[in-house]
Structure 1
């Protein structure tokens, strides 16, 4: 494998199997996810993406690549990661990519919070939101343990029902409360849907467990307790992503709705709210993805007793075990 050159012209070997920044710090994880979720990657042409894939795969195979700097390799890696499935290596559906999260969520969330008063609007936009979530889940499904159509539809139906039911119930409950409370109903519905959707999508992990390893990668076995920790972390991250965009704009919109501008141009309410949500999501999406390490850990003493017994029988001794929390 040819060594790339860094910014000073020195030879260096780049490990493209890992993120560019260290993942044991929040700052490193945040930088990684700011790159992964960059909406500008959606503007890349098929030619740009195929060139990035060619560079990454050839470099990973040890083929000779001349004239490339370290920055060129990292740019190719993140372009490749933004569009191609890590297991199947196939190009992913456009709106299912991580780089589509901000523009898609800003549009859907902004509309959910603008048109939240009537029952038809609540049903329509909550349905659109859960349909988008289903597309994302399907697009990013594991290549080793693919999600069945039945599992996908069960999760989709349950999350949609939960979101719509929560929104309609809360809308009835808060009718006599201040208008600001009503504007926060969509957030409550989305949070409820996440609490339903993610555990359902990963219920096999809760039953059979996920792989836990030592820090150096030695496999120990599958742990349902680790799965519970992983799913809790992902659920909290997803809800955290929604907080800024679904809590901050309603506060401003509730005040601005009484102002002269929106009184005169009520049609501007939706684009203003969508824009505010987008601004929040540009930061909230990567920052909340980075809340927990991708390679998360838990105390060995918290593992199932049979796994602890297996570790003792194999002579494996460590204070913490590690697992992939998912996204």
Structure 2
């Protein structure tokens, strides 16, 4: 059979449509339910195929599916198996429960506290799992990031809830969870990846040769991840409250109030099914920056970088921004 190059993406990742197809394939929630043994088998098949040692009778479809499984579950830099809850393929089953619960149970303080805490615990694990592989984080730094993000979410949610209690319509009060989640993302992601901002992330030339570490690249990548995460949850937390405000006034839903929570969770899942690949595809994961914008790292000037690199520096450098 005609061989395929597994080191080349199936779609053109320099275009939004290509990235959308790519992320739709590897964030498919069904991939999060494969067992560890199945994922390791997929990784082995990918490695065997690269070495031209795959089992006799292996088809292209089998190889492509194995690559999908591999890309969905293993870190793109280290090749290590990721925690299932932290994988982007788990965003739909995990996120639909949390978003659905946050926009359903927003009236009591105890419910706000519990679901904001649960959401930030989930986000912290996702952020850590999808960090740049060059990022190192101590237990103290992780605890600081987790506590800070959870606190910011709770302060925002409870503060807004109290402020709007007698000042805003019930519909406006439904948007409090979204504001809290957005605020927490702004805190959680940079803190969980703070070592990247302090020490920089590895940047490479187009051929994959490491040039240096860049704090500017880290800040750019983290900023794009924050925007992507907020966009992923935006439709579910902005449009669904408007929809549910109208549906709850219908006679049918008033007679069947027990359907309200599962309906909001289901609709949250539908929005995430669309928005997870869209959010991931907005920016290229293999991000690039002009070499001229690299910040000075480890006391090195650009002339020192040029000497270490051994040839003229490229116009652009590349790095993994994480997800």
TM over 0.5: yes
Is residue 248 of structure 2 the alignment partner of residue 252 of structure 1? no
Is the 8 Å Cα contact of residues 14 and 70 (structure 1) preserved in structure 2?
Answer: no
Q: CA deviation at 1:235?
A: 0.7
TM-score, normalised to structure 2's length?
0.90
TM-score (normalizing by structure 1): 0.89
Q: Is the 8 A contact 2:186 2:226 kept in 1?
A: yes
CA-based RMSD of the aligned residues comes to 2.2
Q: Distance in 2 between matches of 1:322 and 1:140?
A: 17
**Which position in structure 2 is the counterpart of 1:316?**
312
Shift of 1:300: 2.6
Q: Which residue is 1:128 aligned to?
A: 118
Q: Does 1:270 align with 2:261?
A: yes
Unaligned runs of 5+ in 1: 6-10
Instruction: Identify which of structures 1 and 2 has the higher relative contact order when contacts are C-alpha pairs closer than 8 Å and 6+ apart.
Output: 2
The 5 A counterparts of 1:35-114 are 35-85=25-75, 91-114=81-104
Q: Distance between the aligned counterparts of 1:50 and 1:217, measured in 2? A: 26
In the TM superposition, residue 139 of structure 1 has moved relative to its aligned partner by 4.2
**Alignment check: 8 A CA contact 1:295 1:323 kept:** yes
Structure 2: unaligned runs, 5 residues or longer: none
**Total equivalences in the alignment:** 317
2: CA distance, partners of 1:55 / 1:245: 38
Provide the rounded CA distance (Å) in 1 between the counterparts of 2:77 and 2:3. Answer: 27
1:165 aligns with 2:155: yes
* Compared CA separation, residues 214 and 46, structure 1 to 2 (3 A): closer
Give me the whole-angstrom Cα distance separating, in 2, the residues matched to 1:88 and 1:298: 22
C-alpha displacement of 1:36: 1.2
TM-fit CA distance, 1:203: 1.2
**Pair 1:238 & 2:232 matched:** no
